[in-house]
Amino acid sequence: MNLSDVLYNLVGFTAVAIIFLVILAVTLNLLSKKFSVDKIKLYGIFLNMNNNTILSFSLISINYLFLVWCLINFQMNYIYVIFSFILILLSDIFAKNYKKIPLNIINLFIECASIYVIAILKDYIFKEGFNTLLFIVLVLVVIFIFLYFTYTMFRSLNNIVKLQKDLSLSKKKVSE
């Protein structure tokens, strides 16, 4: 895959991400008009967060969308790994979550390797002749990997929220 293909794919990802975010914003806006603000608790997660933590939260979400996009497109190469690596590293640095950096990097390489293996399996199925059993295995593995991505994203977001809560509590104790 040459650089122009990679850039073309990244522009495609950006377009898909923007469309997803617009749909999410419209949905949340409609929900906030339909229900009272007290019933929508999603915004509460951002209370008492500083800009660095919100940026970290956003970087993890972008990386999740990017990995799901790679999973759907069955594409993974070293430039995508580097892009995800930078997102995860910056996220941990902004959240001041230095202890989790090695674990998050190992997890990222497992996620990228799983996408690469799925791409190899897809190529094998469609180049060597369609096999129904292998196709079912491919679909089940894609679903499993998607659920794994979702789990790791929520775990990372939860770690950030806990870390922020711990920091805000320790600051309150110091100021009292």
Q: 3 is written with which tokens?
A: 């650089």
In this prediction, residue 145 carries a pLDDT of: 92
| Model pTM score | 0.76
- CA distance linking residue 173 with residue 130, whole number of Å: 64
CB-count exposure of residue 52 (10 Å: 0-12, 13-18, 19+): middle
In this prediction, residue 16 carries a pLDDT of: 78
Name the percent of the chain in helix, strand, coil, to the closest 5.
90, 0, 10
**What would the DSSP string read from start to end of 53-69?**
HHHHHHHHHHHHHHHHH
In this prediction, residue 157 carries a pLDDT of: 82
In this prediction, residue 48 carries a pLDDT of: 64
In this prediction, residue 148 carries a pLDDT of: 92
Q: 162 is written with which tokens?
A: 């806990």
- CA distance linking residue 60 with residue 167, whole number of Å: 20
Buried b (16+ CB within 10 A) or exposed e, 91-104: bbebbebeebeeeb
Digitized pLDDT (tens) for each residue of the chain, 176 residues in all: 677 777 777 787 788 778 877 877 777 677 666 665 555 555 555 566 678 888 888 888 888 888 888 888 888 888 888 888 999 999 989 888 888 889 989 999 999 899 999 999 889 888 888 888 888 999 999 999 999 988 988 888 888 878 777 666 665 555 55
